[in-house]
Amino acid sequence: GTGSSTRLHRHRPHPPPIPSIHPWTIGSPTRLAQLALSLSSESQ
């Protein structure tokens, strides 16, 4: 029947909401390490 088809569409799995801030948006650990090294070298 039409009711079963609509029910299947209603229960269709949808992707989870994407967070506004991604870890890679801020910078990967390697990039953060490079930034820390550059800052430390500048201070010295």
Q: What is the per-residue pLDDT for 19?
A: 62
Q: What is the per-residue pLDDT for 2?
A: 63
Q: What is the pLDDT of residues 13-35, one digit of tens each?
A: 777 776 665 565 556 677 778 88
Q: What is the per-residue pLDDT for 37?
A: 86
One-character DSSP codes across 1-44: -HHHHHHHHHT---PPPPPSS-HHHH--HHHHHHHHHHHHHHH-
Of residues 6 and 29, the one with the higher pLDDT is 29
Instruction: Name the least confident of 1-5, 26-30, 36-40.
Output: 1-5
Of residues 16 and 7, the one with the higher pLDDT is 16
